[in-house]
Amino acid sequence: MIERIVVVGASTAGLATVESLREAGFRGEVVLLGAEHRDPYRRPALSKQILLGTWEPDQARLVEASTLRALEVDFRPGHRAVRIDRRSRTVQTDHHAIETGIIGYDAVVIATGASARRPSWASYSAEANRPAPAIHLLRTLDDALRIAGQLVRGRRVTVLGTGILGSEIAAAASARGARVSLVGRGAGLSLGAVGLRFSDRLRALHAAHGVEVRTGAEVEAVRPSDGPGYDVLFADGTRSGSDVVIAAVGAEPAVAWLAGSGLLTDGSLLADSHGRVADRVFAVGDATSWLDPATGTHRPCGHQLTAMEQGRSVGRLLAAGHLSPYPIPFFWAEIHGARIQASGRLDIADSVELLAGDHDSDQALFEFRTGDRTCGLVAWNMPKPFRTHRAALLAERSPPTPLLETS
């Protein structure tokens, strides 16, 4: 009998779980633990509206306070889970009072997301007698507000990392009037699971907005320079000056607190295609990798709508025993005003065709195919055709896989 569900992590995936538990009829107790001292907010807005300065922080909220109340959830912001004990079925938080610090559960949902990865050289690049360079990372609203405060007209901003997030940050910084360099060690600019296929398009977009792109460039260190700002030192011996350095070099699942719980496999939190990790333990969102029934491999989440869908799946499963189909990946990005949307298994495509729009214009819809089957879509500034074709992609997805025993 499940009477109390503890959801650890109060963001997209955790909140979607709570909403779906209630929608599917769960009337028991729901405790939602959040490490941050904030109500849940939309992380995608951080690299877009918040850095651009077009939204106040409050506009990034995921839910109104009244909605949280209506969900009758025992929401505890500023409560970081530090340990899970599966024998006693308890989650321990960093709150010392026994009545709030140790919480019993009948089922627990881990939704602790990810943290921004720090470049490997960042910890040793500071010289002993000089202040450590402030290398910004972007994962939380506080990070975004700190960075937004640095994006001042005329400042030299270096963004390290040529993935989607790096491109978005560079675009926002240049829109704020900064002089931006976007630097990566890879051969081109990547678009998540799409890889480098649109690197030239992205390069042209950045060039049109004055962002200098440098690829194939290995950064060795960032040091305070003799004048103002920092020197970015490259492996080939060159250096460039910068006032602000922001690293966007990936994210790591926030699962260190589960060490010793027996829930991690080689450091990763692996779940089946329904989000089950072990008996009474579930995981959703960026913290976990779900088993993809089509390939038999575990795939990280990494995107807002996938995190939501996983939360909804687990909510329905826990509340009503309802099985949902495996989520089809979906993400979007906004770079210099271009809206890029992508969905499906883009990594397995063996060919790509233009479905609508024009190859060389800023409006184009591409179909990704494996053999004679459509496996994904990527749209540049074509939201309506994208929606229509995505509906067809969703209609083709396989039915839910059956539940197997968990230990």
Ligand X SMILES: Cc1cc2nc3c(=O)[nH]c(=O)nc-3n(C[C@H](O)[C@H](O)[C@H](O)COP(=O)(O)OP(=O)(O)OC[C@H]3O[C@@H](n4cnc5c(N)ncnc54)[C@H](O)[C@@H]3O)c2cc1C
Q: Which residues bind ligand X (CB under 6 A)?
A: 8-14, 33-36, 43-44, 46-47, 80-81, 111-114, 138-139, 165, 254, 257, 285-287, 301-305, 307, 331-333
CA distances from 325 to 98, 159, 292, 396, 397 (A): 40, 38, 10, 11, 8
CA atoms of 16 and 110, how far apart (whole Å): 12
Beta carbon nearer to ligand X, 194 or 233: 194
Beta carbon nearer to ligand X, 74 or 353: 74
Beta carbon nearer to ligand X, 286 or 367: 286
Smallest gap from residue 334 Cβ to ligand X (A)? 7
Smallest gap from residue 405 Cβ to ligand X (A)? 26
Q: What is the dihedral of CA 246, 247, 253, 258, to 10 degrees?
A: -80
Beta carbon nearer to ligand X, 51 or 221: 51
CA atoms of 183 and 158, how far apart (whole Å): 7
Q: What are 126's two structure tokens?
A: 């500071």
CB 249 within 8 A of CB 72: no
Smallest gap from residue 383 Cβ to ligand X (A)? 14
The amino acid occupying position 301 is C
Smallest gap from residue 176 Cβ to ligand X (A)? 16
Q: What are 213's two structure tokens?
A: 């792109």
Smallest gap from residue 225 Cβ to ligand X (A)? 28
Largest CA-CA distance found in the chain, in angstroms, rounded:
66
Smallest gap from residue 54 Cβ to ligand X (A)? 15
Beta carbon nearer to ligand X, 233 or 328: 328
E strands along 102-214, which residues?
Answer: 102-104, 107-110, 114-116, 135-137, 156-160, 179-183, 212-214
Smallest gap from residue 371 Cβ to ligand X (A)? 27
CA atoms of 321 and 310, how far apart (whole Å): 15
CB 248 within 8 A of CB 169: yes
- Residue 29 CB partners (closer than 8 Å, separation 6+): 3, 4, 5, 74
Beta carbon nearer to ligand X, 14 or 188: 14
The SS3 assignment for 347 reads: helix
Beta carbon nearer to ligand X, 190 or 304: 304
Beta carbon nearer to ligand X, 14 or 125: 14
Q: 377 pairs with which residues across the strands?
A: 343, 367
Rounded-to-5 percentages of helix, strand, coil across the chain: 30, 30, 40
Smallest gap from residue 309 Cβ to ligand X (A)? 11
Smallest gap from residue 126 Cβ to ligand X (A)? 25
Beta carbon nearer to ligand X, 156 or 303: 303
CA atoms of 87 and 90, how far apart (whole Å): 8
CA atoms of 328 and 326, how far apart (whole Å): 7
CA distances from 136 to 15, 132, 263 (A): 27, 12, 31
Q: Phi and psi of 119, rounded to 5°? A: -55, 145
